[in-house]
Structure 1
Amino acid sequence: MAFQLAPVPQPISVWNQFLARQTETLILREKVLSLSGDSFDITLQNGQPILKVQGKVMSISGRKSVYDMAGTHLFDIVKEHLHIHATYAAVDPNGRKMLEVKSSFALLGSKATATFTNASNGATESLKMKGNWFDSAADIVDERTGFVVGRIDRKLLSGRDLLFGQQTYALTVAPNVDLALMVAMCICMDEKNNENKGGIF
């Protein structure tokens, strides 16, 4: 069902404890009838839960809080205002910005760039994500090396995964890449596109 991505030469991470040891496919599934706003369950392809995302009702910034399975609050995803292009950030519980995702114009689909400080070497990293409306897929590419570090693809999902019209994404992550970072990028893109027509695709 899933495909393999080549390992990246150097770790790409914000949260080192979530580095993928092999190609991993995550399933991001929006909870049906969630009372707290857009909330997601995030599992490995085998069904093992890995992260929880809870939306905040009546939040002006559309805040979503991300937790590990022990209940530790990792970060919040918030919309930043006063930008020309839609911009989202992941901020830690102390309010420190860990990641910024800025959208830009694309003729077909969605395009966004994420910038962050790599926890493994302190370098500023830039990942570019571009989605294709017709293929219902998006690649996440390391701008420095050209490596595909992640891929969002709804075609990997079965009809069972797409019941009730909730947003469901398959997110494949390359070895040596931070799973939580890729999840944060996916949710930022989902937020941006929900403003337009509902969902990344």
Structure 2
Amino acid sequence: MAYQLHPVQQPLALFDPLIARQTETLILREKVMSLSGDSFEIKLQSGHPILRIQGKVMSISGRKSVYDLNNNHLFDIQKEHFHIHTTFAAVSPSGEKLLEVKSSFALLGSKAKATFNNKYNNGATETLMMKGNWFDSAAEIVDQKNNAVVGRIDRKLLSGRDILFGQQTYALTVAPGVDMALMVAMCICMDEKNNEGKGGGILGSII
């Protein structure tokens, strides 16, 4: 049974059309045998696609471009260098940094802090914390200002039809009022961090 998350008090968003209107579960699946940078769709558990990701095979920064279903280029996800802690950013086509995800050491599991300017709070900076056991594909995303859980990652939510051919697959549950593209971007950044030097992870094979 899927999680039911409480609606947030104020929307957390970068993009209006992609705000979850109810608790939504997204399926993020590795693209098997992809070496060409083919496009990849992020789908709801119902099978309805919501985002498309285009990887760049020869990109030094491992850049991934994210598009909506109308082929609008929303942002690129890329690694930033010269940071003490591994840092990724989502950058708009015009070069504006929309989201920064910075990992930090955790004794058990994984931990990362994401910051972005919330268009529903006069552009104020919001901070989300992601922590959990990434190797078991289980984590929570928490709004730091009120400790509300706004997202969960858990493979236990997946049915047999969601796990095919040994693919790494995540179920990402998003709370009502939260931007699904924002949550997907955080997951991609965290997955990239935890699979550095391993040949890519769930979404690493897109590039």
**Same structural fold, with TM-score higher than 0.5 when normalized by the shorter chain:** yes
**Which residue pairs with 2:205 in the alignment?**
none
Shift, 1:26, TM fit: 0.5
Measured after TM superposition, the shift of residue 80 of structure 1 is 0.1
Contact 1:16–1:119 (Cα < 8 Å) also in 2: no
Shift, 1:53, TM fit = 1.0
How far residue 50 of structure 1 moved from its aligned partner, in angstroms, is 0.4
What secondary structure does 2:163 align onto? helix
Q: Which moved more, 1:126-135 or 1:173-182?
A: 126-135
Alignment gaps of 5+ in structure 1: none
Partner Cα separation in structure 1 for residue 53 and residue 135 of structure 2: 28
SS of equivalent to 1:126: strand
- Listed as ranges, the gaps of 5+ residues in structure 2 are 203-207
Partner of 1:103: 103
- 1:13 paired residue number: 13
2:33 — aligned with what? 33
Cα deviation digits, residues 138-195 of structure 1 (max 9, x gap): 0000000110000011111133322233321100000010000000001001111110
Counterpart of 1:76 in structure 2 is 76
Q: Quick check: 39-48 or 128-137, which moved more? A: 128-137
Q: What displacement does 1:31 show?
A: 1.6
Q: Deviations over 1:48-104 (max 9, x none)?
A: 010011110011100001011111111000000001111000001111100000000
| Paired residue secondary structure (2:190) | helix
Runs of 4+ in 1 over 4 A off after TM superposition: none
Counterpart of 1:129 in 2: which secondary structure?
strand
For 2:130, the equivalent position in structure 1 comes to 129
Question: Structure 1-normalised TM-score?
Answer: 0.93
Give SS of 1:11's match. coil
SS of the aligned residue for 1:165 comes to coil
Aligned CA-pair RMSD: 1.6
Whether the 8 Å CA contact 2:137–2:170 is kept in 1: the answer is no
Q: Quick check: 49-58 or 39-48, which moved more?
A: 39-48
Amino acid at match of 2:201: G
Of 135-144 and 32-41, more deviation after overlay is shown by: 32-41
Kindly tell me: are residues 22 and 79 of structure 1, through their superposed partners in 2, closer, same or farther at Cα, counting changes over 3 Å?
Answer: same
Please tell me whether the aligned partners of residues 75 and 91 of structure 1 are also in contact (alpha carbons under 8 angstroms): yes
Find the counterpart in structure 2 of residue 199 from structure 1. Answer: 201
SS in 2 for 1:103: strand
CA distance in 1, matches of 2:140, 2:156: 13
Higher RCO, 1 vs 2 (CA within 8 Å, ≥6 residues apart): 2
Deviation of 1:135 (Å): 4.8
CA spacing shift, 1:47–1:161, aligned 2, 3 Å: same
Q: Aligned residue for 1:165?
A: 166
